[in-house]
Chain A
């Protein structure tokens, strides 16, 4: 690791302006995480337009703060109302809410904050150690390797978003197709513009992301209003006891490692890592039968894992320019809006962006610990604000924000259209993240494909004759085929058990 770069990062992260925006980011992230329904993807998309006047370093510091801050905030609702603030906190509800019912809400929130802090800090160390060498290696990649990497990101996201893989793939295809809208950059031919001047310059990703993530969420809440009734829990005793620590140390360590490495994988992310960490903890525990009844390691493991995963997800984003989740897709789009070219060269051409953001995450995790321990009751009181009052506020920022991207009312109309589409998608379990990721990656995938084919004079063999691209494409194929074979295997086993019975 180049310590000069890390020092540069700290010199940037500790300027008063950047400290202020890091604080604002983690504070808003915690609030966004605490509000049921509004996840980090919607939060980052909604607040992205507010960062337009900032330098890219400050903007990325604030957006990253919202991302990992939301992981802390999600715990509050999981523990106090048995409803995860965002999907990565689903596993925390199992033991966190049970602890709250037993009068140990304070200990659950305290351990979640401390576990998140330890995991968050350790995973930033892993980020600063792993991203630069990965970027250095990736500089040698050509268009075929990039094409293969992006295909891997899309297939894993489509197959791991939960629910039907076919629906995930269909959404990824729709996103890639929408990425072709506009003038073809190589031949100058307009595609799918239907005479609309606004579409000549491509379909902006931000109105689509705001529509699918934020407006669709609002419509879901208008359709079926959320009734939040936090339990009257005592929040005293936020600092865990010595026994709590003894029970949780291993869980935090294992959760951190599982979270970080799962987070690095494209498509896996915080939600899956928290599931895996909880399952692993239950397997190694001396009291697996008590999981789900309010054991503290059942809170420590998933909370450590989801924080570590959100940092891990920044490795492929910053080192390769490949986002692995809906939120990092929005952050990638943000980089392009600031005029930066995401990819391995970003670290050498604009080292301040990566190192400033990484250094700010050390500081931001300390801020979050301070915010979440003494101020946990304050965040808990946010849950008492009726959601119906928040709806107009979120619509207000969506409309102003989407308009300000290109000063275009057309973009506002696009956001509303995709809000309606996103609502229907939610109702019938079509995941929005693959569509947004594919829309962001679409133009890059097509460019890499066409450059590769030009290199090989039109032969697709180039993707399988180069070892790195062939290896990555094999992984992508595995990601698509694994769920199919797993389903066939379990059906076969079921039949065997039935016939034996």
Chain B
């Protein structure tokens, strides 16, 4: 258990607490059987207890000054690369209605390989293009999956 477990336990407690709050708004039971609210209420309540226990264990480790209480330090550049990737993935979702699915994935892969991973242009463009063309062929032509099309007709 680490210092991060204390904060992780608290975040999980908030999640389960919110689920419990919302769960109370569902019908808890009928005359002879549990209703739609039964499982959400019990699961969130148990989850809340378990996550509070995670937080308490983390807090005790912190207070005792245990060596393992230190959270693993984040590597700055690694974390930045992950954030840039997630931002790129989120942006990809937003541009699908305009660019279509295949072109959005291609643009994201170019961004990933050239900006985030810093590959050479040849490798970045080559891998991105080959990936999209191959999976477009598999899913659209072989499996007949209808995907949102962009201005270029694919």
Contact = CB atoms under 8 A, between A and B. Distances in A.
Interface in A168-199: 169-170, 173-174, 176-177, 180, 184, 186-187, 189, 191-192
Nearest to B13: A170
A388 interface: yes
B75 A192 contact: no
A375 B79 CA distance: 39
A170 B43 contact: no
Contacts of B22: 192
B33 A454 contact: yes
Interface in A384-402: 388-389, 391-393, 395-397, 399-401
A3 interface: no
A222 interface: yes
Tell which of A50, A189, A399 has the most Cβ of chain B within 10 Å: A399
A228 B92 CA distance: 30
B90 A416 contact: yes
Interface string B41-61: 001101100110110010000
Contacts of A458: 29, 31-33
Given A173-B43, A391-B112, A396-B132, A416 B12 contact: no
A189 B44 contact: no
Interface residues of B, number: 74
Nearest to B79: A223
Given A164-B1, A169-B50, A223-B78, A450 B38 contact: yes
Contacts of B147: 400, 403, 407
A314 B98 CA distance: 44
A496 interface: no
Interface in B115-151: 116-117, 119, 123, 127-128, 131-132, 134-136, 138-139, 142-148
B89 interface: yes
A453 B47 contact: no
A219 B139 CA distance: 24
B86 A420 contact: yes
B127 A170 contact: no
Interface stretch (A59-67, A276-284, A353-361, A422-430): A422-430
B40 A192 contact: yes
A451 B144 CA distance: 40
Given A393-B131, A446-B39, A409 B109 contact: no
Nearest to A188: B36
Contact of A191 (B2, B4, B40): B40
Nearest to A413: B93
Nearest to A397: B135
Nearest to A177: B43
A284 B60 CA distance: 41
Contacts of A22: none
Contacts of A388: 117, 119
A222 B81 contact: yes
A407 B145 contact: yes
Contact of A166 (B23, B38, B54, B128): B54
Interface in B20-34: 22-23, 26-27, 29-34
Interface string A12-51: 0000000000000000000000000000000000000110
A453 B33 contact: yes
Interface residues of A, number: 55
B105 A396 contact: yes
A187 B8 contact: no
Interface string B93-119: 100100001000100110011001101
A428 B4 contact: yes
A392 B54 contact: no
A166 B9 CA distance: 10
Contact of B89 (A50, A180, A397, A419): A419
Given A189-B36, A224-B78, A173 B16 contact: yes
A340 to B, nearest CB: 20
A170 B54 contact: yes
Nearest to A158: B50
A219 B44 CA distance: 29
A270 to B, nearest CB: 27
A368 to B, nearest CB: 24
B35 interface: yes
A404 interface: yes
Contact of A409 (B2, B37, B38, B148): B148
A52 interface: yes
B51 A170 contact: yes
B14 interface: no
Contact of A457 (B1, B32, B53, B57): B32
Given A177-B43, A412-B93, A404 B54 contact: no
Nearest to B143: A53
B43 to A, nearest CB: 5
A454 B32 contact: yes
Given A400-B105, A416-B89, A391 B117 contact: yes
A202 interface: no
Contact of B35 (A164, A187, A219, A393): A187
Contact of A403 (B4, B32, B101): B101
A379 to B, nearest CB: 21
A235 B71 CA distance: 42
A259 B7 CA distance: 38
B128 A189 contact: no
Given A392-B109, A400-B139, 6 more contacts: A49-B139, A177-B40, A184-B35, A395-B109, A396-B135, A400-B101
25 contacts: A170-B50, A173-B46, A173-B50, A177-B19, A177-B43, A177-B47, A180-B43, A187-B27, A187-B30, A189-B26, A191-B26, A192-B40, A223-B79, A223-B81, A389-B127, A395-B108, A395-B109, A396-B109, A399-B105, A400-B101, A400-B105, A403-B145, A409-B93, A420-B86, A454-B33
